[in-house]
Structure 1
Amino acid sequence: MSVDLLQLNVDALFEQHSVLEIDTVQKKIQTVVENKREELRTMVGERYRDLLKAADTIAAMQSSAGTLIEQVHCVQTNCQSLNEQQLLGFKTVAATPISASSTEVLQQRSASKQLNNYYSTMVQIKLLSSLPELIWTHLDNEEFYAATELFLFSRHISTGLQLDAKNELMQQLPVARKQWEILRPFHVTIKQTVIAVLERENLTAEMAVDCMQSLLLLDKCELGQVLQTFLNLRATAFVNSLHSEDKPRRVKERILASLNILNGTIELLDKCLLANGLLFTRLAECAATIAPPSITRMDSSERQLAPLLPDIISGYRPQFEIPQLLPEQLGEALRQWMAKIDGLAAQQLQEIFALVSNMQTIQDIKLAASETSRRSYADLEQQLKLPQAQLDFYRIKYMPLINARVREIVRSSWASAMQQTYEQVVSLVNSSNASAAQQIWREQNDDLPLSLAAALSDQPKRLANRTKGYDRATIELCSQFDSQLGGIVQELNVLLQEQTSRAEDKLTLINFLRETAQQQITDYLSKLKMLQLQERQALLQALRITLALVELCPNLKLCFCQPASWRQWAGNLTAAGIEHWQRICLMIEEEVFKMWQLIVDDVLSSLSCAEKLPRTITHDVVLRDFPLWQTQTIEQRDEEHDQNVQSTIRIPNQPRLSLQTYLHQLIEALNIAVPQTLPSKVLQAFNNKLLTQLLSHYEELAASECTKNSQNIALQLYFDLKFLERVFGVSREERSLYEHFHTLQRTLRDCIDPFDFELFAEHLTIHVTNSSARLHGELGVLTPPLANAQGAINVGTLSHEADPNVLCLSSTGSTSLWFPLLPIVMPQAATGAAHVERKSLALEADKPTTTTTATTPTRKPTTRKNDGSKSKSSAASFFGMSQEWFR
């Protein structure tokens, strides 16, 4: 039940509600009453506490007022004593009683003194009226010591007039008191003006001495306090020069202004405050007895009234002792000031240097700063017992900040260029597809240079770059990245050519550029690895661009291998730079090789030889898979019957059809995955994995019963292995693969009759040679160049060592990666290879593992004559070139 207790009607309550509800209402009323009582008690207690606090405050104020009254009485007593002392020069000696005859003379003399007192008072008031304008004039002319002296002169006059306030004349001239009220604020005005002048950026020694004299005279303080004020104000000027809120200035001007203030402060201390400095010379001149009185600074009209003034006014001049400043005091004050400057520079000067955005500004700062910092303060440091070169602010405070800013500009520029390049790489990788990959092979108008000058220029060799898989987007990306790095190198070259920098700083800068480049490239490879690319086209695009950064960005190499103009500072670091560059190239090649492995592993996994080749050899497989063997007629001499006997043998002349089909399918898959030929290093790794899988397959076939029971099957498999070994160029350097091939060949040879094998060996070797030479062109995507297949060692790389050139398309050197020419089949080469094969077979036959021996009748195989003539190319004869150039 909700009842409004304020508008409760008791009669209606008893009529409309039950006893329980009425009891509930009564409890609510009691609760509200108790709450109100508690609030009332709290409120009364708080007000009582406030009253007690106010009473205590009144008692304390009464005690303070009593103390203040006592101090006022003391001040009055001191002022009365001072009044009596200051009026000694104004009072006349009391005359002794004289006779009545001289009364008239005394009255005339008294009237004359009253008249002189009147004129003197009027002249003093006239001086007080003229002094404000005169003080303002000296302030406008920046003559602060003169203005201070006139202010003290006005205070001296006003003090005399106020002490004679009980005089009847002074009571009739209240203008004297009002004039002092006008002159009194000049104490603050002069001090503020002096402080403002000492905070200027450009302060001469004469102006600084004038300001310090004014402070000494105005505040009657010690020279140590004036020195502390001067140094604090110069620190304030240093801070103001960095901010320049009144008039916006360039960053270079702010930095140079702050440096000029620091150097100027030390120069002022050297000229003004050392022994026999300008300040002590001026103070000695002002304190000399022949120094003119202050009234001489008044206008000529006021100076003519000087005889009417009392001597204490007309002869007034400031009185002070020449202060002393020990070198220890100056050195301690200078150390404290330098510590304060260190704190300010560490915070605010570093913020200003952070606004410098290019190397040209830094060079301008260094040139201007070196010109203003040529003076040495060795004598001052020796006198003040300061560490050597402690006052060289440019070297101690500015050079570290300049070097740090240069490194930050280099690092930020490198990071920005690398981040922008990485973002473009990610964009190209995400947008890569098979159609875009095939676009590289379409002919374009700008593939070949239009003139010899264009061919010899530094323009991108588009056709050569396209042979490596670099499309237009990749070339433009590398060009943009290289231009950004070129800007960094060019800006750095501006600083390195600057003659005022030390060789150590230049060497440090070169090392920092190399370290930054290495760090950024490492970060780029790490971020590229974190993408975890799996798609073939994405991997292919990423590895192409990464290799292109090395090949198409010459300025990247300059960050590691210094230009020729930098060698004079790099010194012995040139070899180290080349080593670092080779290390970076090796690291990039390793990462790119891992991407290549992902691509080739994907191709091999999609086309496994275990699935594409028959696992067992049956009669149906023999009829379908084995090619037609070549029939060979052998003529040999029968010694018993003394006649020639001809026999016919059948020898395989090409590998199994399924093996050829599988290799062609593998080539088609590679052509789809990678439009251009694989690099030699990748091809070597791919071939090793492929041959390992094929050898495992042939091991299963060699272990089967069909192979062991059929000599023809074993002979065909043996031919396949010899063909694979020759066409893929397996050499002794690849020890494990080479041993695996020959172990498996011996296993298959054991399944062949030794007499038959001896009979077939020479012809088998010739057929293997002819077949590998015939199919080498068809399998050129997989097989290495013919010279390498014949036993030469192939040193595989992923990038060209020299500039790309169209001639590399037909080169078979160690730097060739793309499109080897089709092999030239020569009978002499085949015959020579057969002779080598016979030698190897003879050596193998002499091994102890051979269990059967048989005598082979003499035979005379038919051979074809070859005159060894070489055909010459018409192009070679036309250009006067030998045919060796085309190989």
Structure 2
Amino acid sequence: MDTDELFVKYTVDEIRTIEKSTRSKIEKKKEDLRQMVGERYRDLIEAADTITEMKNCSAQISNAVQDLQKHCVNLQKTMMTRGVAGVSKESHQDLQSKKKFYAISSEIKLLVDIPDRIWSALEGGNHLEATQLYLLACHVTSSLQLDSSTPQSAQILKWFPVLSRQWATLSHFKHNILQSSRKILKDSSMSDQKTAESLCSILLLEDSSPRQVFAEFLLARKSAIQTCLTPDLHTTSVKTQVCLVTRVAERTLRQIHSIFYNDEASGDCSSLLFDILSAVCNSHSPGNNGPYHIKLEVGNFGKYLPAHIKDFRPSLAATATPISTSYLQQSVNQWVEVCIGDVQHGVSKFLRHITTIKALTSIRDAVYELLEETEDEKASWKSVCEKVLKRKLSLWSEFLRSLFITRIQGIIQDALEETVTETQRLIAEATDRLDYSAEERSICSYVWRESGLDIPSEAAWDRE
């Protein structure tokens, strides 16, 4: 916005507030930039080291190819001298040794390709795919014993020097995936499927339980509501913020129902979270062509991959058990009570900026329209509340109505006080224009004035 326009539209105090808000945003952007540079700097250093190692490795390969060409020329000369019959057949032991070498080579190619695939998955928002690739990389690393100091590890590193820093490149992906998944949990606009996949990613990476990720989901949505309650009112209207808070609360309860709730009464203990978790961890899926099956994509080397790599599936240390209905209902009720307090405290501050009943009515109508739109979704609001809360819940009545009533009363009271003050001022101006004495201008004197003919006060109280 132009500087001159700011001074025309706002007061000095408002301009100072805008300046403070702008400076705060600038500092936040600077901090975000520092964090981003800090996170990428390590990748840049690792990439530079890897390029140097690749240069050395390429030089070694080039020399090896030249030596191979010389050996081929010598072999050709020998064959021409002795004939083909002079070449002995490879022994069974040599074949086994080659197969083992090819298997290790195919695993290493897979390990080298995985970082790019993880970045692509994260950029595409496929957090569960990125998680599976990371866990596969951990499995391959453990298989090759690159994270230890065994003779096999030393021999492999001698054959493939580029792998010396490969695990360092892979290890930081866990933090990146978890950070990105937790960011998804705070976004109520995400679909149930994406949210459930992000929860599965956290569950698999941290080897946690469904109860733990459920608690983390509730905390994330509480944080999302608190973020909505601390906006910049210069860029966002009060109506938008109140509707956004309502939408987050409504979407949270619906996603709890679709992702975590299982109907114990009917014996159906499946939920979206467990369906996805079973599809990812189940090693008996037909043909390994399920929606969450990871294609290894190692080209011609794929036939040399060991079976334990081809058939790899993530697993949990302990068997995941469904969240009981009673525990879910208790936790959700506690979450709702906390959110009611936060919402009422925050929205009451928003409503102080509303000075007309017409504006309040407009906000109320917008909330009503939002709640009516949600009724068109697959599961009815009444059914959702009965299952996850074991009671009825009206977001308008419990979250907002008392705040609107209080603000309406405040607006009416302010209007009455202003009316009284203005009336008194107008009366005072009118009486000042009249040519009367001060006693005649007094409204009290006009309504009642003592007269000499009145009964004396002593006589009025005399009981005789």
TM bucket (normalised to shorter chain) is: 0.5 to 0.7
* 1:556-595 equivalent positions in 2, closer than 5 A: 592=444, 594-595=445-446
Q: 2:174 maps to which residue?
A: 187
Structure 1 residue aligned with 2:410: 408
3-state SS of 1:139 partner: helix
| Aligned-residue offset at 1:150 | 0.7
Q: Does 2:210 match 1:223?
A: yes
1:297 aligns with 2:294: yes
Give yes or no for the alignment of 1:153 onto 2:136. yes
Aligned mate of 1:108, from 62, 69, 91: 91
RMSD over aligned Cα atoms: 3.2
In 2, the alpha carbon distance for the partners of 1:541 and 1:156 equals 97
Q: Give runs of aligned pairs for residues 231-380 of structure 1, distance below 5 A.
A: 231-245=218-232, 248-275=235-262, 276-288=270-282, 289-290=284-285, 292=288, 297-298=294-295, 300=297, 302=298, 304-320=300-316, 321-374=319-372, 375=375, 377-380=381-384
Q: 1:597 to 1:159 in 2, by over 3 A?
A: same
In 2, Cα distance between the equivalents of 1:159 and 1:245? Answer: 50
Question: Residue 312 of structure 1 aligns to which amino acid in structure 2?
Answer: H
1:304 Cα deviation from its structure 2 partner: 4.1
**Against the structure 1 CA distance between its residues 381 and 199, is the aligned structure 2 distance closer, same or farther, given a 3 Å change threshold?**
closer
- Give unpaired runs (5+ residues) of structure 2: 1-87, 263-269, 457-464
How far did residue 363 of structure 1 move? 1.5
CA distance in 1, matches of 2:102, 2:360: 70
Cα deviation, residue 312, structure 1: 1.5
Q: Which amino acid aligns with 2:330?
A: E
Assess, with a 3 A threshold, how the Cα gap between structure 1 residues 144 and 303 changes in structure 2: closer, same or farther: farther
- Change in Cα spacing, 1:425 to 1:175, as seen in structure 2 (3 Å) is farther
CA distance in 2, matches of 1:246, 1:186: 37
Matched, 1:166 2:163: no
Once the 2 structures are TM-superposed, how far is the Cα of residue 371 of structure 1 from its aligned partner?
A: 2.6
Q: Alpha-carbon deviations, 1:769-798, whole Å to 9, x = none? A: xxxxxxxxxxxxxxxxxxxxxxxxxxxxxx
Distance 2:234 2:216 in 1: 26
Q: What is the correspondence of 1:60-75 to structure 2 with a 5 Å cutoff?
A: none
Deviations 1:218-240 (A, max 9, x none): 11111001101001111111111
- Report if the CA contact (8 A) 2:243-2:370 is conserved: no
Residue 353 of structure 1: CA displacement? 2.4
Q: Distance in 2 between matches of 1:427 and 1:202?
A: 59
**C-alpha displacement of 1:296:** 5.7
Displacement of 1:264 in angstroms is 0.7
Rounded to whole Å, the distance in 1 between the matches of 2:188 and 2:272 is 20
Displacement after TM superposition at 1:539 (Å)? 4.9
TM-score of the aligned structures, taking structure 1 as reference length: 0.36
Is the partner of 2:151 in helix, strand or coil? coil
Judged with a 3 Å threshold, the aligned counterparts in structure 2 of structure 1 residues 177 and 324 are, in CA distance, closer, same or farther, namely farther
- Matched residue SS, 1:373: helix
Displacement, 1:277? 2.8
Deviations 1:11-45 (A, max 9, x none): xxxxxxxxxxxxxxxxxxxxxxxxxxxxxxxxxxx
What amino acid is the match of 2:294?
A: R
Superposition map of 1:50-61 within 5 A: none
Within 2, Cα distance between the matches of 1:165 and 1:343? Answer: 58
- Confirm whether residue 207 of structure 1 aligns to residue 177 of structure 2: no
Q: Given that residues 296 and 303 in structure 1 are in contact (C-alpha distance below 8 angstroms), is that contact kept between their aligned partners in structure 2?
A: no
- Closer, same or farther: CA 596–394 of 1 in aligned 2, 3 Å: closer
Q: Deviations over 1:739-789 (max 9, x none)?
A: xxxxxxxxxxxxxxxxxxxxxxxxxxxxxxxxxxxxxxxxxxxxxxxxxxx
How far off its partner does 1:190 sit? 0.8
What are the Cα deviations for residues 119-166 of structure 1, in whole angstroms up to 9, with x where unaligned?
A: 333322222222122111111221111111111111111222214742
2:119 to 122, 136, 140: 136
**Quick one: which of 388, 396, 400 aligns to 1:394?**
396
CA contact (8 A) 2:186 2:220 kept: yes
Aligned to 1:885: none
Q: Which amino acid aligns with 2:235?
A: P
- Flag the structure with higher helix content: 2
Structure 1 unmatched runs, 5+: 1-104, 439-535, 544-591, 602-688, 697-887
The amino acid across from 1:437 in the alignment is L
Describe the superposition over 1:485-533 as per-residue Cα deviations: whole angstroms up to 9, x where unpaired: xxxxxxxxxxxxxxxxxxxxxxxxxxxxxxxxxxxxxxxxxxxxxxxxx
**Identity rate of aligned residues, in percent?**
18
1:244 is paired with a residue of what secondary structure? Answer: coil
1: CA distance, partners of 2:439 / 2:160: 104
Letter in 2 for 1:282: I
- What residue is the counterpart of 2:110 in the other structure? 127
Counterpart position of 1:16: none
Q: For residues 133 and 248 of structure 1, do their structure 2 counterparts lie closer, same or farther at Cα, with a shift above 3 Å needed? A: farther
Give yes or no for contact 1:428–1:541 (8 Å, CA) kept in 2.
no
What is the CA-CA distance between 1:246 and the residue it aligns to?
11
The Cα offsets for residues 55-102 of structure 1, whole Å up to 9 and x where unpaired, read as xxxxxxxxxxxxxxxxxxxxxxxxxxxxxxxxxxxxxxxxxxxxxxxx
Contact 1:151 1:183 in 2 (8 A): yes
CA distance in 1, matches of 2:89, 2:338: 71
Query: Offset at 1:269?
Result: 1.3
Q: Measured at CA, do residues 317 and 428 of structure 1 come closer, stay the same or move farther in structure 2, by a change above 3 Å?
A: same
Query: How far apart are 1:336 and its partner, in Å?
Result: 2.1
Q: How does 1:808-887 map to 2 (within 5 A)?
A: none
The answer (yes or no) to whether the contact 2:343–2:399 under 8 Å persists in 1 is: yes
Deviation digits for residues 562-596 of structure 1, max 9, x if unmatched? xxxxxxxxxxxxxxxxxxxxxxxxxxxxxx4x445
Instruction: Report the count of equivalent residues.
Output: 349
Q: Distance in 1 between matches of 2:302 and 2:99?
A: 12
CA shift at 1:303, angstroms? 5.0
Q: Give the 3-state SS of the residue equivalent to 2:134 in structure 1.
A: helix
> Residue type of the partner of 1:318?
P
CA contact (8 A) 1:148 1:214 kept: yes
CA separation of 1:116 and 1:180: change in aligned 2, threshold 3 A: same
| Structure-to-structure mapping, 1:744-763, within 5 angstroms | none
C-alpha separation between the residues in 2 aligned to 1:246 and 1:400? 22
Q: Distance in 1 between matches of 2:219 and 2:384?
A: 20
